[in-house]
Homo-oligomer: A and B are copies of this chain.
Amino acid sequence: LLTDFGLRDPYVGIMKGAMLRRAPALTLVDLSHEVAAQDLSEAAFWLARSHAWFAPGTVHLVVVDPGVGTERRALAVCARGHYFVAPDNGVLEGVLARPYEARQLDETALELNVQSRTFHGRDIFGPAAALLASSSLPFARVGPVCDPLERRRLPSAEWQGETLVATVVSVDRFGNLITNAERSQLDSSDLCVELAGRSLPMVATYAELAPGECGALLGSFDTVEVACREGNASAMLGVGRGSEVRFKRVASPS
């Protein structure tokens, strides 16, 4: 489950109640409910980076839904051996590797009882995901095949000459700056990192940094993170989400 509902209000719990009502034996796992309100790109990033750690066949329910109450479609998608249930608003962009199959949820076929125009997590997405996860509903019967999907552009890092220009896409609890520079975009050349007017080293582990020192390293999601050993890089550098990070090739002494 990935939503922007927050944990203070009872919305996540009510959605779970509506799910367990249809499928009492479900195992429910919270990925995060603290996505910034209506922030599709943060949700899309984490979904793309997270889903593969779950067992194949897992149903991933994503409700970040600024268009609730409008005509935006409700989708179920089968891709990469996983299922995804979400609004058609681009939040699935990072997982739509071809071949995939997308279907539009059919409220009648699903016997949904849609009682609100504001809480489709409870009334549509949650129950559909529950039925799908419980195997009581084959994927082919959630509704008609549909295509294409609304796309947002997930920002991606790009090489410009000798510089890989990336963006901070998330700042975690520890103050680590998580960028969209991917492992596959790095080559074997030595790089230095520039952000906020500073130059930082690239290291292999936190332990190569002195306590309080900042550096960049390949993080646990195959993207580069800027971290501060025993400290908070975001606070230390005064850098947050959306900031630019530049990786520059260093001329090797030869």
Known: A66-B230, A174-B37. A32 touches B13 (CB 8 A): yes
- CB of B206 within 8 A of CB of A118, answer yes
Contact code string A102-131 (vs B, CB < 8 Å = 1, else 0): 000000000000011111001100000000
CA distance A172 to B3 in the complex (A): 14
Which residues of B are found within 8 Å of A117, using beta-carbon distances? 204-206, 217-218
CA distance A230 to B38 in the complex (A): 8
- CB of B53 within 8 A of CB of A118, answer no
Tell me the minimal C-beta distance from A241 to chain B in angstroms.
13
Tally of A interface residues using CB under 8 Å: 62
The A interface is mostly helix, strand or loop, or mixed, namely loop
Known: A55-B21, A117-B205. A50 touches B8 (CB 8 A): no
- CB of B69 within 8 A of CB of A207, answer yes
Copies in the complex: 3
A2 within 8 A of B: yes
- Stretch of A23-31, A138-146, A243-251 lying at the B interface: A23-31
- CB of B16 within 8 A of CB of A29, answer yes
- CB of B20 within 8 A of CB of A54, answer yes
A17 within 8 A of B: yes
Which residues of B are found within 8 Å of A2, using beta-carbon distances? 10, 13
Tell me the minimal C-beta distance from A2 to chain B in angstroms.
7
Of B14, B18, B55, which one neighbours A17 at CB under 8 angstroms? B55
Of B17, B18, B46, B220, which one neighbours A116 at CB under 8 angstroms? B220
Residue of B nearest to A26 (CB): B27
CA distance A37 to B227 in the complex (A): 14
CA distance A159 to B6 in the complex (A): 34
- Chosen A-B contacts, 5 in total, with CB atoms closer than 8 Å, are A6-B173, A9-B173, A69-B205, A70-B206, A118-B220
Q: Which 9 A-B pairs have the closest CB atoms?
A: A119-B220, A69-B205, A6-B173, A13-B31, A116-B220, A17-B54, A8-B34, A21-B55, A70-B207
A: which residues have CB within 8 A of B? 2, 4-14, 16-18, 20-21, 24, 27-34, 37-38, 46, 49-50, 53-55, 58, 66-70, 115-119, 122-123, 170, 172-174, 204-207, 217-220, 225, 227, 230
